[in-house]
Amino acid sequence: MVRRSAGFTISTQLGEMRQATAPERVDLLTIRQAITATRHFLHLFQSQLEAKAQLKLRRLTQRLLDIDHELDRLSENECTFAG
């Protein structure tokens, strides 16, 4: 089921968000910012869903938070990108 919000479907909003927020570079900070933005978007969307779907989104949001915490623990030496 697709929900409408402010005249747009959620899938349309996601597409627009993906285009509008594509980073020019990718590093640890950019990844963590994307996770934070995704968690915020899911939190806003969660209240529009039925209880079962809310629970699934809550678990997904928690997994994203866990990933963010793991990325926070990485030091500069542990996280190097091949060029």
- Name the pLDDT band for 1 (thresholds 50, 70, 90): very low
Give the C-alpha distances (Å, rounded to integers) separating 53 from 4, 38, 46, 48, 67.
Answer: 16, 17, 8, 9, 21
pTM above 0.85, yes or no: no
Distance, C-alpha 59 to centroid of its chain: 13
2, HSE (Cβ side, Cα atoms, 13 Å)? 9
Phi-psi region of 7 (alpha: psi -120 to 50; beta: other; left: phi over 0): left
When the pLDDT of each residue in the chain is averaged and rounded to a whole number, the result is: 77
Residue 51 per-residue DSSP state? H
